[in-house]
Amino acid sequence: MSELSDLYQEVILDHNRRPRNFRVLAEATHQAEGYNPLCGDRLELFLTVDGGVITDVGFQGSGCAISKASASLMTDCLKGCPVADACTLFERFHRMVTTPPDVAVEDLGKLSAFAGVRAFPMRVKCASLAWHTLKAALNKAQKATTE
Amino acid sequence: MTPVAAQARGFPVLDVARVRADFPILRRQARGRPLVYLDNAATTQKPQVVIDAITRYYTEYNANVHRGVHELSEIASEAYENARRKVSAFFNASHERQIVFTRNATESINLVAHAFGRTHVGAGDEVLISAMEHHSNIVPWQLLCEERGARLRVAPIDDRGELMLDEFEALVGERTKLVSVTHMSNALGTINPVEDIIRIAHRRGVPVLLDGSQAAYHMPVDVQALDCDFYAATGHKLYGPTGMGILYGKETHLESMPPFLGGGDMISSVTFEKSTWNTLPHKFEAGTPDISGAIALGVAIDYIQSIGLSQIAEHEQALLAYGTDALAAVDGLRMIGTARHKASILSFVLDGVHPHDIGTIVDREGVAVRTGHHCAQPVMHRFGVPATARASLAMYNTRDEIDALVRALGRVREVFH
């Protein structure tokens, strides 16, 4: 049962229940839609970038607890973050969730809550959907999928 | 073939303990707990006799069919064609010429879309389906309609997940060239009133294809009594191996249709100027078929017959009623698909918990259910849900397994407190 409680940590359940930054940004400079065709998780991400810094961020959509909490926690981390750092954070998050479960991973603060998905290979895409959508938005691509 | 062990038993009511003993996989554990396999609408498990049939073919008489004069080829060809006779009898086709082996039900439907559709559907014509179709009975018709400038019409379903027959009837018109509907919905469990559908369509001279992927392993199907024009089914839900699909077609249709795929075995003669086609059903079976798959499917059908589809249906209906009541008692659970006439599917959502999370948590309790859109996204849209969790029953499932599912759903509530 410990794997299950590693996956559904309190911080994840909390962000699932009360997603932060769950709103449309009318004045967004960047936006993209993320879609996981396997389970139908769908989210829209909005960013306001000013002088190379992400000044505001919001998201909308529907999905499982893991994908929703991941998007919520990601948006929390991105506010005030330089674009270059956001790209690095994408890489670090991606490395964390794709490292085998028995290998130590870097401490990513609150984002480390998602290290638990490593024991659930089918759920890694749920955790990384928001991040792929972030990458698409920053690259000015319209859509990201986890395929 | 040695006779199926169960055949000699001929038990009048389904003895689920004895049935379970025939399925070796049911003895394994999942996540360290006894496996509770409730994902039968995706694929059913295989009895030992089916697994043995595959091994026996490759061990004792592996050879290509319809070609060699040598002994092995003769045995393999006879076993392959004998499987076709079993399938033909199972669906009560009037002749095994009407049974075409394909890879799966999807290919069976695509075969009809290509060979029948391209011959009969032109610009401005219509193909009529229902709102509860699996993607495999939507996309082939979309492709056809796009190519021919035809129109895909969709008969609606109501809040229970039943086809709205009046609306369906109103949609069968002058331009309708084919009706293609599921016999039983994979996402909702609804059993369609196929007799009425066929009567309505035939009154206007419109042929009907039934997608029997879900129905064929839950209830007896008689294609002559139904008078359907085509019936598509899949072997791996009939307790047989993957890679085996079935298409029944009325002989007049099959004769008038051009081939689907070209190649070996489907020809009568080939020159660089012109080739002529083999007789039915070989005209539609290009290349080396899945020989062991067909033979094992024949054995699976023997196995089903030895238990009896009526007994299976009775057992599953009782279990469905038990499961429906048990799930109704789960706090915050909403059933998706409450047709008055349904079989073996318990599709549901839980307040505040995404189906994907349900799937992960019950899996940790050893309970295998499907979560997602079930390749029926329009059905999800119709009910305003992104996905459902679906428990689907087969002949070997028990009340204890339903109880295990309910307990696992309690665990979901504990996690999402």
ipTM of predicted assembly, 2 dp? 0.90
B302: its two tokens: 């023997």
**Residue A54 resides in a domain:** yes
Question: What domain range includes position A60?
Answer: 2-139
Q: A39, B380: Cβ pair inside 8 Å?
A: no
**Residue A97 resides in a domain:** yes
A63 vs B352, B354, B377: nearest CB: B354
In angstroms, rounded to a whole number, what is the distance separating the alpha carbons of residues B117 and A32?
39
Answer yes or no: pTM beyond 0.95. Answer: no
What's residue A146's pLDDT? 65
CATH of residue A89's domain is 3.90.1010.10
Q: A40, B360: Cβ pair inside 8 Å?
A: no
In angstroms, rounded to a whole number, what is the distance separating the alpha carbons of residues B2 and B299?
10
A32-41, A75-84, B369-378: which has the minimum mean pLDDT?
A32-41
In angstroms, rounded to a whole number, what is the distance separating the alpha carbons of residues B387 and B334?
12
Q: Is the Cβ of B386 closer than 8 Å to some Cβ of chain A?
A: yes
What's residue A142's pLDDT? 65
**Residue A114 resides in a domain:** yes
In angstroms, rounded to a whole number, what is the distance separating the alpha carbons of residues A97 and A86?
17
What's residue B6's pLDDT? 40
Q: B357, A8: Cβ pair inside 8 Å?
A: yes
**Residue A76 resides in a domain:** yes
Question: Has residue A39 got a pLDDT over 70?
Answer: yes
Q: Binning pLDDT at 50, 70 and 90, where does residue A143 land? A: confident
In angstroms, rounded to a whole number, what is the distance separating the alpha carbons of residues B297 and B305?
12
Q: Does the N-terminal peptide bond of residue B207 adopt cis geometry, omega within 30 degrees of 0?
A: no
A47: its two tokens: 């960013």
Element (H, E) at A145: strand A143-145
Is residue B228 annotated as a catalytic residue, yes or no? no
B37: its two tokens: 């396999």
* Ranges in chain B, pLDDT < 70: 1-12
In the block, tokens 């839900």 appear at: B237
Query: Which of B392, B409, B387, B414 has the alpha carbon at shortest distance from A126?
Result: B387
Pairing label, strands B33-34, B29-30 = antiparallel
**Residue A111 resides in a domain:** yes
**Residue A107 resides in a domain:** yes
Chain B residues close to A8, C-beta within 8 Å:
357, 361, 415-416
- The structural domain count of chain A equals 1
**Residue A145 resides in a domain:** no
Q: Binning pLDDT at 50, 70 and 90, where does residue A57 land? A: very high
B299 Cα to chain A: minimum distance (Å): 34
What's residue B2's pLDDT? 35
Task: Find the mean pLDDT for residues A26-35.
Answer: 95
Q: Binning pLDDT at 50, 70 and 90, where does residue A147 land? A: low
Query: Which of A122, A135, A102 has the alpha carbon at shortest distance from A36?
Result: A122
Radius of gyration of chain A (CA): 14
Q: Is the Cβ of B358 closer than 8 Å to some Cβ of chain A?
A: no
In angstroms, rounded to a whole number, what is the distance separating the alpha carbons of residues B162 and B198?
16
A64 vs B357, B377, B380: nearest CB: B357
Q: Binning pLDDT at 50, 70 and 90, where does residue A24 land? A: very high
What's residue B10's pLDDT? 47
Chain B residues close to A38, C-beta within 8 Å:
372
In the block, tokens 């062991």 appear at: B292
CB B412 within 8 A of CB B350: yes
Tell me the pLDDT of chain A averaged across its residues.
93
Chain A residues close to B353, C-beta within 8 Å:
65
- The single-letter DSSP state of residue B3 is P
- The maximal CA–CA distance of chain B, rounded, in angstroms, is 73
**Residue A146 resides in a domain:** no
In the block, tokens 């504990």 appear at: B414
Q: Is the Cβ of B373 closer than 8 Å to some Cβ of chain A?
A: yes
Query: Which of B66, B183, B168, B176 has the alpha carbon at shortest distance from B126?
Result: B176
Chain A residues close to B371, C-beta within 8 Å:
39
CB B65 within 8 A of CB B289: yes
What's residue B9's pLDDT? 45
